[in-house]
Chain A
Amino acid sequence: MLRDITLGQYFPGNTIVHRLDPRTKLALTVCYMVALFAARTWSGYAFMLAVLISAVAASRINGKTLLKSLKPILFIIIFTVVLNVFFTAGDDVLAHFWIFKITKQGLVGAAQMMLRLTMLIAGTFLLTYTTSPLALTDGIESILKPLAKIHFPAHVLAMMMSIALRFIPTLIEETDKIMSAQKARGADFESGGLVKRAKALLPILVPLFVSAFRRADELAEAMESRCYRGGEGRTRMKTLVMRPRDWVALAAGAAVISAVYALFRRLP
C-alpha cells in the first residue's frame, strides 16, 4: 500500500522536456509559477492552462497520471478554496448566515485559487516526472553554488537530498516488511480512531528509526572509506551543459511571463 506513493516520482523518457538541462527546467518552473500568479483574468488562466497542456503533451506524460497525483493534495486545495469562499471581503453578498458571508467576489476568488493551485502543483509534478532526482539535485547544487562564497552549504544540501532520495525506496520497503511482520502477529493498522491508529504505528516507527540510524552510521563509514570529504575538490562524471535548446526554452519562458504581464493583468 505504501508503494502507490507517486510524489516525486520520475518517469524516464527521451522527449525534449526530459533532455532539457535540469537548471533550465527549474528556471522554467519558476517562470511558470510567476506567470501563474501574475495572471488575473480568465483568459489569462486559459492561456496558462494551454501552456501547461502543451508542456505535458511535449513530455508525453500521461495526463491521467498527472491528475491522479493531485489526489493526495486535494485536501489542501479544498481547504484553501473553502477559506477563500468564506473570508473574501466583497459587497455582492449572495448568502449570509451567522458570521459568514458568501460573496460573488469570494466565489470567483475561490475558483481562481483552485485553478492556480491545481495548475501550480501539476506544473511542479511535471518537473519531477521528467527530471531524474539525481539531475534535479545536481541542478539545485549548480544553481546554489555561487552562494558557497557566503558559506552557504550548497554541496551538503544537495548530498543530503540525494541520499534521502536514494533511501526512500529502501525505507519504504523496510516499513512494508515491518508492517507485515506486525500484522502477522495480529497488529491492526486499518481500524479504530485516529489515536488508536497512531498508537498502532508506534511499533513500526521504533524499529524503523533504530534501523535508519544504523544505516546512517554504516553509510557514513562506507562514504568515508570511499574518500568522501565534502564538496571541495570533487569532480562530477556528468557535468551539466547548457545547450542551444536550453536557451530557446528559457526564452520561451521569458516570453510567457511577458505575455501574461502585457495581456492578462487587468483585474476582473
Chain B
Amino acid sequence: MPFITVENLEYAYPAHEDGGEAFTALRGVSLSVEEGEFVAVLGHNGSGKSTLARCLNATLTPTAGRVSVGGLDASDEANTFEIRRLVGMVFQNPDNQIVASVVEEDVAFAPENLGVPPPEIRRRVDAALRTVGMYEYREHAPHLLSGGQKQRVAIAGVLAMAPRCIVFDEPTAMLDPRGREDVIGIIRKLRDENGVTIVLITHHMDETLGCDRVYVMNGGKIEVSGTPSEVFTQVERLRSIGIDAPETVSLLYGLRLAGVDVPLSALTPDECAAAVADAYGKRVSPADSAD
C-alpha cells in the first residue's frame, strides 16, 4: 500500500466574511506516494501546489475526496497530530519558520511539542544538525545565518520530529545559487541515506532530476504525471500550461525540430551531451576530455 494516497481531492478556500466567493483551489487530484519515493510537483503560480501540500499534512481538511497517510484518514481530526508527525513541512521563507532565537532550541521545538524526554531530544537535535551540516552553528542566533543556512536549520527542525515523509514547498525559491545547491543536496541525501520519502514542490526543473515521479499541476488538477523522462519529453504539452522543459530537453527538442536525430529522454547534462555527440558521430574519448 502506498504511504500517501490522494483520491479525487477537492479543496475550496472558504469565502471571506467581508464578501468574496469561495475559491476552489483543487479540483479532483489523485496521486500516490510510495514509502522512500522522491516525488516532484511542478506547476505555475496559483496552480494549487501549496494547497495540495497543506492537505498532505492535515493543515487543510479536504472539502471532498480522501487523503490517507500511513493508513490514517486525514479528514479524521483524531489523526491530525499523528499525520503532522509523519509528514514534515519545509516552507519557502526560512525566516518565518524558525521559532527560537538559538539554532538548537529551534531544532528542539518539534520533539518538545511531541513530549519526547529531554535526553532523547538532545540526541535527536544533535543528529539532525549533523545531517544538515549545521552542528557547529548549534548555539548561533538564526538571524545571523545566511538564507541557505537558515533553510538547513529549518530542515533539521523537521528532521528532529523523525517524520517518514517531508514535503518541501519551494524550499529554494528565496536562496542564492549556493544555498540552493546545499539544500537540494541535503534533500537527496535524506532520501538516499535516511530513507525519508520526499515530496518536492519547485519551479526549478534541474532540482527534479533523479526523482522517481513527476506531477505537473494546472488549474487545481494534475495535468501530466509519470517518470521524469515520460513527463519532460512532452515538451509542447508542458509549454501549453506554462512550464518549460529542462534545458537539456529543450535543447534536444530544438535539435529535433532542426532535423537532427536525437532522443528527447536524455535529461541530465551528461546524457544530453552524449546524445548530441552520438548524433554527430564524433564521440570524444574519455582520455581526451580529461584535460
A-to-B contact residues, CB < 8 Å = 132-134, 162-163, 165-166, 169-170, 173, 214-215, 218-219, 221-229, 233-239
List residues of chain A with CB within 8 A of the CB of B112: 234-237
Which listed residue (B57, B85, B102, B143) contacts A134, Cβ 8 A?
B102
Whether the pair B121, A226 counts as a contact (CB closer than 8 A) is no
List residues of chain B with CB within 8 A of the CB of A132: 101-102
Closest to A223 in B: B99
Q: How far is the CA of A218 from the CA of B59 in the complex (A)?
A: 12
Whether the pair A227, B85 counts as a contact (CB closer than 8 A) is yes
A176–chain B nearest beta-carbon distance, Å = 12
B50–chain A nearest beta-carbon distance, Å = 10
Can you list 15 contacts pairing A with B, beta carbon distance less than 8 Å? A133-B101, A134-B102, A163-B99, A166-B100, A170-B143, A215-B95, A218-B93, A222-B89, A225-B88, A226-B99, A226-B158, A235-B111, A235-B121, A236-B108, A237-B111
Given contacts A170-B143, A235-B112, A237-B112, contact A134 B84 (CB under 8 A): no
List residues of chain A with CB within 8 A of the CB of B29: none
A239–chain B nearest beta-carbon distance, Å = 6
Q: B91-125: contact bitstring with A at CB < 8 Å (1 yes, 0 no)? A: 10101111111101100111111111110011001
Closest to B157 in A: A226
Q: Is B280 an interface residue (CB 8 A)?
A: no
List residues of chain A with CB within 8 A of the CB of B100: 134, 162, 166
Whether the pair A227, B113 counts as a contact (CB closer than 8 A) is yes
Whether the pair A225, B95 counts as a contact (CB closer than 8 A) is no
The B interface is mostly helix, strand or loop, or mixed, namely helix
Q: Is B161 an interface residue (CB 8 A)?
A: yes
B175–chain A nearest beta-carbon distance, Å = 16
B162–chain A nearest beta-carbon distance, Å = 11
Q: How far is the CA of A254 from the CA of B149 in the complex (A)?
A: 46
Q: How far is the CA of A214 from the CA of B95 in the complex (A)?
A: 12
Which listed residue (B54, B89, B105, B157) contacts A237, Cβ 8 A?
B105
Q: How far is the CA of A11 from the CA of B59 in the complex (A)?
A: 39
Q: Is B262 an interface residue (CB 8 A)?
A: no
Q: How far is the CA of A169 from the CA of B100 in the complex (A)?
A: 12
Q: How far is the CA of A227 from the CA of B114 in the complex (A)?
A: 7
A63–chain B nearest beta-carbon distance, Å = 25
Q: How far is the CA of A229 from the CA of B84 in the complex (A)?
A: 11
Which listed residue (A166, A224, A229) contacts B101, Cβ 8 A?
A166
Q: Is B141 an interface residue (CB 8 A)?
A: yes
